[in-house]
Structure 1
Amino acid sequence: MGGAQFFNQDLSPYCKRLKATIAVYDNFKPESKFHPNWGKDRVLEVIKTCGITQKSDEVGAEETDGVIITVNVPNVTSDKGVLRFALYDKATFMRTPLDGQITTIKEGKASIELKNVAPGAYAIICYHDGNNNDTFDYDNNGMPAEDWGMSNNPVLMGPPTFDSAKFTVENKSLDLTIKF
């Protein structure tokens, strides 16, 4: 973004991403006091280049305000533990999620809302953390020991890929169903 502004390039893709980043900072909860929780101040400073301040404009009010992804999982095998969800783009897939949420299970069903998602291509992976140990467990053969699923519900013969789970967010809310 730094160089783009000096070469008269369109800054709107960068601005959209920065707005979405604010929502990630607002929803982030460090796992402990030793986990980093800094960076929002710098994003707010850079976003001023877009002509947006947190006071004068709600961050994300243009394209991302109101863009909500509702994710439903209708077939959880047990109400024990929690479901853990992660939202990725292509660059972060299976590494550090853009957003993550945890929810309880009631009568074999669970759902979450991911708010203020910027338009773009994303994938969601979720798993049933039945023992609530904050880890996706594997058996002795390296196969998943806990139920899991991903957007688009692809049938895979190997590890998940971004392209098989990819969906597009535009300027409207979206409902997804993930089945285990």
Structure 2
Amino acid sequence: MLNNPLFTHSSQNTQQCDTTGISRKFSQVIFWVVLSLIWLPSDGFAQSECPSVNIKIQNISNSTGVIACAVFESGEGFPDKFLKFASKVMISQISGKDASFEFSDIKPGKYAIAVIHDENYNGKLDTNFFGIPKEGYGFSSGAEVTMSAPSFSDAVFSYDGGDLQMSISLNY
């Protein structure tokens, strides 16, 4: 009777039923795991926001042109050659008296920021015959213009890799 093909076929069907039963149990376990994850608060699995340097530009005199904000890692080209030497540059249209920039993917270190209000879209800070700026400008760490533009070391700040909030007021 064990050699009967009908018996052999029937035992194969029994194995298939066992496999189907295991598969069904596995599906039920997966269903309950997924359902329990849905019930958990979403904050438990939310990725934390990427740390960044957030800069608020204040005291914009008018809405003509754009605001350019440049992050420098060294004194090379600081502050006026930002298109060539800055490690990160953001340009934003103006709406109102304030603008905001968020720089992420910045490694801990020392940096300086230069901001210009490029009213005529030429990518530089325009000056008069004596070298006095005709457009708005500002720098990190409260660096000021005296007889010339501030140096990198005047505007430098340390960044530890976390969230950093900074305000820069433009001077005209």
Which of 151, 166, 171 is the matching residue for 2:161?
A: 171
> Equivalent residues in 2 for 1:136-151 (5 A)?
136-151=125-140
Compared CA separation, residues 174 and 93, structure 1 to 2 (3 A): farther
> 1:48 — aligned with what?
none
Distance 1:102 1:111 in 2: 10
> 1:134 — aligned with what?
123
> Equivalent residues in 2 for 1:22-171 (5 A)?
66-94=50-78, 95=81, 96-157=85-146, 158-171=148-161
Question: In the alignment, residue 79 of structure 1 is paired with which amino acid?
Answer: S
Identical residues among aligned pairs (%): 26
Verify the 8 A CA contact 2:75 2:152 in the aligned structure 1: no
Q: CA shift at 1:66, angstroms?
A: 2.0
Tell me the TM-score normalised to structure 1 length. Answer: 0.60
> 1:53 — aligned with what?
none
Q: Considering only CA atoms, is the larger Rg found in Structure 1 or Structure 2?
A: 2
Distance 2:52 2:107 in 1: 9
Q: Which runs of 4+ in 1 moved over 3 A?
A: none
Question: In the alignment, residue 176 of structure 1 is paired with which amino acid?
Answer: M
Structure 1: where are the runs of 5+ without partners? 1-64
For the residue of structure 1 that corresponds to 2:169, the secondary structure is coil
Q: CA shift at 1:133, angstroms?
A: 2.0
What do you get for the CA RMSD once the two structures are aligned? 1.6
For the residue of structure 2 that corresponds to 1:152, the secondary structure is helix
Structure 2: where are the runs of 5+ without partners? 1-48
Question: In the alignment, residue 135 of structure 1 is paired with which amino acid?
Answer: K
Distance 1:133 1:77 in 2: 18
Which structure's residues are more often strand, by fraction?
Answer: 2
Q: CA shift at 1:132, angstroms?
A: 1.5
Distance 1:160 1:91 in 2: 10
Distance 1:112 1:128 in 2: 14
Tell me the TM-score normalised to structure 2 length. Answer: 0.63
